[in-house]
Amino acid sequence: MIAVLNYRLLEVYNADVSGRIYLSISTSSVFDKKTCSALMIYLRHQPSYPLNLFVDHLWYFSGFQPDYRRERMLPHGGTDLIINLDQIPKRLYDRDHLQNEQIFRCSWISGQQTRYILFDAQMNSALMGVRFRADGLYPFLQIPLEEFTDRVLESELIFGAQARALFEQLLTVSSPQEKFSILENFLQTRLPQETRPIHTIRRALAIWNRNQRLLSQRELAGELGISQKHLINLFKRHVGVTPKAMERLTRFQCVLRRLEQSQTLAWPLLAQHCGYYDQAHFIKEFQNFAGLTPTTYLTEKGEYLNFMPDDPLSTG
């Protein structure tokens, strides 16, 4: 069973065909800790202002019971800080050579990814993290985000001793609510006062989200009233990729969100809705980001957006 706790809601869902139960409990709700200890628990927490300008959400899960060996994390257009609460080392695999791997023990930062990444899926895992908005990580680091693109790095390399102190403090408390509070306070202390999002970048993201036709970088720069060179430099520094790459990621995420809503959409209509030239362009782009076709994705996709099982365990 899985308990999904969303702080802003209070609903109880029926068991699905696999027998799993999905719960949604508000912040003030009281739940039976003994019962929930037998469940996989997943929580999302919306940070307060001004953190919410840069952070999409904080998340936590424990009691993970995967029936697969690895998990595929798809590019989502943002960046992540991930903290390993169970202290069991986690492996990041090379997509092309699975015998090559990186080991992460305490916490790590995943920069802007332009292809999927592969982590091992461990029984009874406990993790929490921060999902930053497209341009959300830069204010906390003040380092050009293009240095983190397609990389996953130990947090101590970036935050120094503060990363280790955060990790150790999180282990001293048991409740997810206390952990969220500690993590939110850590982020507040790292955010310079009076920091606000870069208006030009937010306008560009809004244009892509409402515009179903493809825009060249030149056209986008003209609509924003700045030079193409300045636009590219802004995105490389604050987002980690060029505007063209970010637009491609935005279209890919448009597809994934639509498939979450309905799995019966005709591919040509879906391609048109999300701004692709044609179905062939859509399939090529999807394969580049996800490493598989849209049809295979529908068959194998997981329960959570941007995460997919990989290398299933034998059921025989």
Q: Is this model's pTM higher than 0.95 or not?
A: no
Integer Cα distance of 116 and 12 in angstroms: 33
241 domain-assigned: yes
Residue 14, pLDDT score:
31
The answer to whether 32 touches 14, Cβ cutoff 8 Å, is: no
172 domain-assigned: yes
pLDDT, tens digit, for every residue of 293-302?
A: 999 999 999 8
Q: Is 4 exposed, middle or buried, given 0-12, 13-18 or 19+ CB atoms closer than 10 A?
A: buried
316 domain-assigned: no
Asked whether residue 57 falls in the same domain as residue 158, the answer is yes
Q: Is 60 exposed, middle or buried, given 0-12, 13-18 or 19+ CB atoms closer than 10 A?
A: buried
Q: How confident is the model at residue 99 (pLDDT cuts 50, 70, 90)?
A: confident
Residue 238 region by backbone torsions, left for phi larger than 0, else alpha for psi between -120 and 50, else beta: alpha
288 domain-assigned: yes
Asked whether residue 87 falls in the same domain as residue 209, the answer is no
Integer Cα distance of 287 and 297 in angstroms: 10
Asked whether residue 216 falls in the same domain as residue 184, the answer is no
Asked whether residue 123 falls in the same domain as residue 179, the answer is yes
Asked whether residue 100 falls in the same domain as residue 224, the answer is no
- The residue out of 159, 190, 221 marking a domain boundary is 190
Domains in the chain, number: 3
Asked whether residue 268 falls in the same domain as residue 213, the answer is yes
Asked whether residue 63 falls in the same domain as residue 121, the answer is yes
Integer Cα distance of 253 and 251 in angstroms: 5
At 72, is the secondary structure helix, strand, or coil?
Answer: strand
pLDDT, tens digit, for every residue of 195-237?
A: 999 999 999 999 988 876 778 899 999 999 999 999 999 999 9
Residue 311, pLDDT score:
84
- The residue out of 190, 207, 224 marking a domain boundary is 190
- The residue out of 190, 210, 225 marking a domain boundary is 190
Q: Which residue has the higher pLDDT, 12 or 137?
A: 137
Task: Give the range of the structural domain holding residue 266, as residue numbers without chain letter.
Answer: 199-311
Asked whether residue 170 falls in the same domain as residue 288, the answer is no
Asked whether residue 252 falls in the same domain as residue 143, the answer is no
Asked whether residue 251 falls in the same domain as residue 166, the answer is no
Q: How confident is the model at residue 30 (pLDDT cuts 50, 70, 90)?
A: very low
Asked whether residue 45 falls in the same domain as residue 139, the answer is yes
Q: Of 65, 121, 114, give the one whose Cα is nearest residue 93.
A: 121
List Cβ neighbours of 180 (8 Å cut-off, separation of 6 or more).
43, 45, 58, 60, 128
CATH number of domain containing 295: 1.10.10.60
222 domain-assigned: yes
Classify residue 14 by its DSSP letter.
P
76 domain-assigned: yes
Task: Tell me what the mean pLDDT of segment 156-167 comes to.
Answer: 97
pLDDT exceeds 80 at position 86: yes
Asked whether residue 307 falls in the same domain as residue 203, the answer is yes
**How many C-beta neighbours within 10 Å does residue 220 have?**
20
